[in-house]
Amino acid sequence: MKNIMGTKWMGTVLGLLAVSPLWAGGEAGTVGAEFLRMGAGARGMSMGEGFSALVDDANALYWNPAALAGLEKRSATFMHATTIEDSFYDFGGYGQKVGKSGGLGVGFQYYSAGELDNTDVNGNKTGTSTPNDVAVLAGYGHSLGAYQLGLTGKYVQSQLVDTASTFAFDAGVLTPWYFNDRVRLAATVVNVGGTLTYDKESTDLPMAMGVGAGVKIMKNWVAGADVVAPKDNDTYLGLGTEYKIPVGDTMGLALRAGYNTIERGGDAGVTGGVGFRLQGLDVDYALVTQGDFDASHRISVGYRF
């Protein structure tokens, strides 16, 4: 019965993805709260965002809440990212196993545009402001047979001159590992919900649907791929790979690379990074190219305990 329920859920998400061309590919810039799709954890970002089937820690709140059901230990994570000029972006999360088949997570996303000058109609400076966005996340994942299902709810607030807020949710599913424990599939729907209304102007959230796959190439080598259809832009592909190098019994290094066809600053992005593990502590770095803009540097720290 549980396998049937999991199969039906997977079929529902894939059905939504099948009709995504009917709403995807809209005019770029027609949605708000862009910070909601700025990533979580340097590991996933360095792998080109091809990560929805591979995430295995508290970053599941962002990539695929279904993975919360697979948490074996408590997981805490924090990422800081430089973006453009003085702006920056942070993500933090915590997750833990609940009962025999569930997992719970909480987290946040925060974006600051830096200090900006305010001017009047004549161009005279009238002061300064610091536009910022924040989202508070709470997610739950549950195993139904061999499948994992998940949901993340979020409260979103955006402050420009005026402040707007709304609620939204993400949903995801993970299949079991197939083909001798080598291939796993994922599907997600993200940022489904209300609109942000500033004074009298409203903007939608950056809704997107995606499917992903994770592949175990060999013992310490994995690869991931995600196809994502945003509501406001063309469908894009994220690809990534990671190779782990054990160092003794408690340490390890990871080398990562990726490619993403989404346009950032006019061009698709090449990504790369490294990771270091000491027992339950993970320190990761990612470099994300952004076309004509300066590259974005991501640093994250995670701890499993």
Neighbour-count burial for 26-37, b at 16+ CB within 10 Å, e otherwise? eeeeebbbebbb
The Cα 20–Cα 130 span in angstroms is: 36
CA dist., res. 51 & res. 40, Å (int)? 10
Q: How many domains does the chain have?
A: 1
Going by C-alpha positions, the residue among 76, 84, 137 that lies closest to residue 112 is 84
CATH of the domain at 69: 2.40.160.60
State the pLDDT at residue 62.
98
Residue 38 lies in a domain: yes
Angstrom distances, CA of residue 110 to CA of 2, 125, 195, 253, 259: 37, 27, 18, 29, 25
Residue 124: per-residue pLDDT: 64
Q: Is residue 120 in a domain? A: no
Q: Which pLDDT score, from 0 to 100, does residue 120 have?
A: 61
- Tokens 């339950």 label which residue? 280
- Residue that has been written with the tokens 């019965």 in this structure: 1
How much is the pLDDT for 22? 47
**How many angstroms separate the CA atoms of 297 and 173, rounded?**
30
Is 124 inside a domain boundary?
no
- Would 65 be classed as within a structural domain? yes
Confirm if 140 and 150 have CB atoms less than 8 A apart: yes
Q: Is residue 262 part of a domain?
A: yes
Q: How far is CA 271 from CA 11, 54, 88, 259, 299, in A?
A: 32, 17, 18, 6, 13
Q: For residue 21, what pLDDT is reported? A: 47
Q: State which residues form the domain around 267.
A: 2-17+30-115+129-304
**What pLDDT, on a 0 to 100 scale, did the predictor assign at position 197?**
87
The residue ranges of the chain whose pLDDT is under 70 are 1-29, 116-128, 264-268, 290-293
Give the per-residue pLDDT at 127. 62
The answer to the question of residue 121 being in a domain is no
24 belongs to a structural domain: no
Tokens 């402050």 belong to which residue?
159
Name beta bridge partners: 272.
Answer: 257, 287
Residue 279 lies in a domain: yes
- Torsion angle, alpha carbons of 55, 59, 65, 67, to 10: 30
Query: 184, 192 in Cβ contact below 8 A?
Result: no
